[in-house]
Structure 1
Amino acid sequence: MQKVIQRTIMAEKQAARRLAKRRSIFKLQQEKTNREQYNMSRSIEIQDVKAATLARREDWEMGPLAPKRDVGLKKDTWGAIDSQRLRGRVWSLEKRKEILKPWGGETWLNLAKGDRVVMLEGREKGMIAEVKSIDLERCQVTLDGANMVDVRIPAYMIQGNDEDKRLFRPMEQPVDISTVRLVYPLQKQGEEVKDVIVKNIKGKPTREELINYRMTGKAEHRRYVAGTKIELPWPRKEDEDFKDHPEDTLRIDVELPTFIPTLLRPPFPSSVIDELRNKFSAFRTRHNPEYIAAKMQEDKEKEAKKIQIKQMRTPLNEINRQERRLKKKMGKKQVLTPEMLQKLGAIMAQKKALHEKVTAVQQGREPVAA
């Protein structure tokens, strides 16, 4: 039975190693793809900046003789940017934690769709807009009607039934989440209600909210202005309008109980359970009593076989046994014979003569012959 347990543990470790290896390979591939996309968008942006700089210099040098640039192939898309420039950089998990830390982190983010924020940077600095979407991987937010840019649309992407046939479309360019601050209407004593920029927001989930998050997966908590007890309510979510379709399953069919559990018998025969769970799988940890008894009997037979092998008398065992008996008779103390003492004396005299010779050479006198 011990081998069965060891086999299960080894199989689980091997599966964990394979899964970790696959995850690391997938992570490296994902990082490579994100890096290539970012480099492509940056190269397109640099090319646009260089072209604009060159055109501006030519316009300044040539003056009235400067050529028109909104003609030819770029007539309909002059001044529009490539859609790749709208894609920001996908940050690593560590970098995302650092960027989103002032907002409460990725799980308990104190910013939601529908919040009003103010822009702190860019050509529309000071503009207040509503959050349209949040991209946590790139740590960016898209604001409704803010930071608008014209984006080139390829001709093949324009459908035949589309009324807008322009080769460019105005779109909101996402901005970094660190360049916006939450705006909320507050009223002080004796003053009118006015918009206030909230620099620091604190929102720590309670124990009940954590339990609810573990049960449902929905991260819902309360947020406050840092250092105060002023609660910042979340924006209201519009109720989704669900429409019934002919192919939808009726609610009565879903809520009608079709199985009543009981402690008297399992839901289906044990043979079916064995077929579904794979009775001989290496990952199985729960076995039937008959299977456990059979494995225990196999272990007992193996142990009895080992004892029987040890009790067998073989020629090699007999030789080893005789050698042990002889060593036991000789005892631990060994007596030196005259021949052994004579050999030891000759070796000691030789080493002493060599030592005297070395000492004489070091003192600068002739060595005495031994």
Structure 2
Amino acid sequence: MEKVVQRSKIAHRHAAKRLSKEIDHLEKGKSWNRKRDSLRIRGDNHALIVTARKERAEAWSRGLLAPRRDVGDKAKTHGALSLYSFNLPDRHPRSLPKWYWVSEGDRVVVTKGREKGKIAEVEEVQREKGAVRLKGINVADVAVPSWVNQRDTTGKDSVQPIAIMVPIEDVRLVYPLPDPATGKLRDVVVEKLTCVNREWDKVKKEWDQGMRAVPGTNTLIPWPEVIEPEFQDHEDDTLRRSVDEVTHTPLLLNWPMPASVIDELRNKYSKFRTRHSYEFTQKIEAQAAKEEQRKDLHLTMRTPLQELAEVRRKAKAAESRELTDEQLAKIGEVMASEAAKRGKVASVPA
């Protein structure tokens, strides 16, 4: 049975190594994609700025003779951003915040950029980009491709105003707190928030949001209320009473399911299997005991001389290993002579 256990351990170890290599390869691919997207978006935005500057200079220098550019394919999309480059690229996981203090429905103020000082509501939080989308803030015209409009039956235009993401480092939370002097509520810009009472969710295997607190104070800022979606019932839906009906009561004296289910979940002869049936365990142990007995078969085929040598070896091993008085005296004489050569006096045992 020891061989079966060792084989399972080795198989799990090799599988873990392969999984680690696959994860490493996948992470490298994601990093390469993030870098490629970042360079592409920066290049597209830089080219757009350079082109706009040239067109503006040409329009200023030529005046009424300047060529019209909002014609042809760009009749409706001239001056609009591309759908593929208006958004922010994904950030490296190490550069992302470990805890997001903002959620949908919060009111924040922009601290950088052209919208500095404006207060708006958070519509979306994108954790992969470390950014938030604000309602009515940082809006730009984006050229939507025709194949996107074909899927939409509302008849939207090819140019739509879309709010561009704002990095989470460029916004601060705005929350009404009482004035210490008057006691009236007023909007306060919270510079920093800390997380308290955070717990590990064993089901989702992730940390929950915890609670928001202002450092150095006992002020707790609640999270925005989450509006639960309303679902429409249909005729083919399962009834609630059918879901709550108890159809099985587990007992400690009986198996909750047949023991053969493990063979259906995992191959009976899989090298990754760690739980085996009683019959299989007894069979493996019997084979191991038989192999152990075969190791001593050569002892039954010894010659008389081999048996005599075995008896002498055991007798020699049983003999006392203590030194005799003559041996001790001889050792003392040698020690004394060696000490006399070095100019020292040594005591000779009697």
Q: How does the TM-score come out when normalised to structure 1?
A: 0.75
Match of 1:246 in 2: 235
Match of 2:15 in 1: 15
Match of 2:88 in 1: 88
- Count of matched residue pairs: 305
Match of 1:286 in 2: 275
Query: Which letter does structure 1 place at the counterpart of 2:180?
Result: Q
Q: What is the DSSP-based 3-state SS (H/G/I as helix, E as strand, rest coil) of the residue aligned with 1:159?
A: helix
| Aligned match for 1:190, one of 181, 192, 202 | 181
Match of 1:258 in 2: 247
Q: What is the DSSP-based 3-state SS (H/G/I as helix, E as strand, rest coil) of the residue aligned with 1:29?
A: helix
Match of 1:130 in 2: 121
Structure with the larger strand share: 2
Residues 166-245 of structure 1: pairs in structure 2 closer than 5 A: 166-191=157-182, 192-206=184-198, 210=199, 213-215=201-203, 219-245=208-234
Match of 2:131 in 1: 140
CA distance in 1, matches of 2:13, 2:227: 48
Q: Is the 8 A contact 2:108 2:171 kept in 1?
A: yes
CA distance in 2, matches of 1:93, 1:157: 30
CA distance in 1, matches of 2:221, 2:255: 51
CA distance in 1, matches of 2:109, 2:36: 32
CA distance in 2, matches of 1:58, 1:114: 45
Q: Is the 8 A contact 2:212 2:221 kept in 1?
A: yes
Residue by residue over 1:39-71, the C-alpha shift from the partner in whole angstroms, topping out at 9 and shown as x without a partner, is 222222122111101112212322343333333
Residues 90-105 of structure 1: pairs in structure 2 closer than 5 A: 90-96=90-96, 100=97, 105=98
Distance 1:260 1:52, change over 3 A: same
Distance 1:5 1:75, change over 3 A: same
Match of 1:348 in 2: none
CA distance in 1, matches of 2:10, 2:56: 69
Distance 1:56 1:310, change over 3 A: farther
- Aligned Cα RMSD in Å? 2.5
Match of 2:47 in 1: 47
CA distance in 2, matches of 1:188, 1:238: 30
Deviation at 1:83, TM superposition (A): 1.1
Structure with the larger helix share: 1
Distance 1:201 1:268, change over 3 A: closer
Residues 6-85 of structure 1: pairs in structure 2 closer than 5 A: 6-85=6-85
Distance 1:307 1:80, change over 3 A: same
Q: What is the DSSP-based 3-state SS (H/G/I as helix, E as strand, rest coil) of the residue aligned with 1:41?
A: helix
Match of 1:112 in 2: 103
Query: Which letter does structure 1 place at the counterpart of 2:90?
Result: V
Q: What is the DSSP-based 3-state SS (H/G/I as helix, E as strand, rest coil) of the residue aligned with 1:223?
A: strand
Query: Which letter does structure 1 place at the counterpart of 2:197?
Result: P
Distance 1:218 1:262, change over 3 A: same
CA distance in 2, matches of 1:278, 1:68: 72
Deviation at 1:312, TM superposition (A): 5.3
Residues 328-347 of structure 1: pairs in structure 2 closer than 5 A: none
Deviation at 1:133, TM superposition (A): 0.6
Query: Which letter does structure 2 place at the counterpart of 1:43?
Result: G
Deviation at 1:134, TM superposition (A): 0.7
Residue by residue over 1:186-245, the C-alpha shift from the partner in whole angstroms, topping out at 9 and shown as x without a partner, is 121333422111011011225xxx25x224657142211111111111111223212111
Query: Which letter does structure 2 place at the counterpart of 1:12?
Result: H
CA distance in 1, matches of 2:280, 2:147: 65
Query: Which letter does structure 1 place at the counterpart of 2:190?
Result: V
CA distance in 1, matches of 2:277, 2:187: 69
CA distance in 2, matches of 1:16, 1:201: 39
Deviation at 1:160, TM superposition (A): 7.9
CA distance in 2, matches of 1:160, 1:93: 33
Distance 1:218 1:246, change over 3 A: farther
Query: Which letter does structure 1 place at the counterpart of 2:32?
Result: K
Q: Aligned residues: percent identity?
A: 35
